[in-house]
Amino acid sequence: VLITLEALEDGPLPFDEVFAASKIDFAVAGLRQTAPLHVQGTASAIEREIHIRGGLTTQVEMECARCLDPVVRAVKSDFDLFYQPLDESPEGNELVVPKGEEELGFYSGEGVVLEDVAKEQVLLSLPMRTVCREDCKGLCPTCGINRNRETCQCKPTGGDPRWAALQNL
Ligand SMILES: [Zn+2]
Ligand SMILES: [Zn+2]
């Protein structure tokens, strides 16, 4: 879904779209869209700057950082974004940079692709590191079993650093 500058010439336009599960490709290993993504809001233009404001909800599945089990997360994100034409940006980069309370991005061509906006917002809403639960024991570094489900006989490697510190006293 392309929101073009031309379409906004006569005034703000509401949008309300649903992208089916797996429609959005996050291009991040282990991250999948497992429920429809619903995005709605309003787009408007101030000269050649496109302003997109709204919210989205979806559900994603990713890997636990410790045990690699799938973790399902509901995503809800509100956004207020400004996009300038890429040819007017001095550096030509597409990074979204903070602009006070809002965020500023760039678009190339005729306008902003709504799927890309949604993708970016989902990625921004996710934590740097996801664990299936706070006390996840992770995988055994020696034999690789999931220590949440099984116990192995491997000897601990290195030991607890707190004990090592005490021994050095
Ligand atoms: Zn885990
Ligand atoms: Zn083991």
46 CA from centroid of ligand 1 (Å): 46
2 CA from centroid of ligand 1 (Å): 38
C-alpha span between 15 and 86 (Å, rounded)? 23
pTM exceeding 0.85: no
* Statement: residue 96 has pLDDT above 90: no
153 CA from centroid of ligand 1 (Å): 20
36 CA from centroid of ligand 2 (Å): 39
The pLDDT of residue 29 is 87
Residue type, position 44, single letter: S
64 CA from centroid of ligand 2 (Å): 18
pLDDT category at 140 given cuts 50, 70, 90 is very high
What tens digit of pLDDT does each residue of 4-63 get? 999 999 999 999 999 999 999 999 888 999 999 999 999 999 999 999 999 999 999 999
66 CA from centroid of ligand 2 (Å): 14
Using alpha carbons, select from 75, 51, 47 the residue that is nearest to residue 61. Answer: 75
What tens digit of pLDDT does each residue of 152-166 get? 999 876 656 666 666
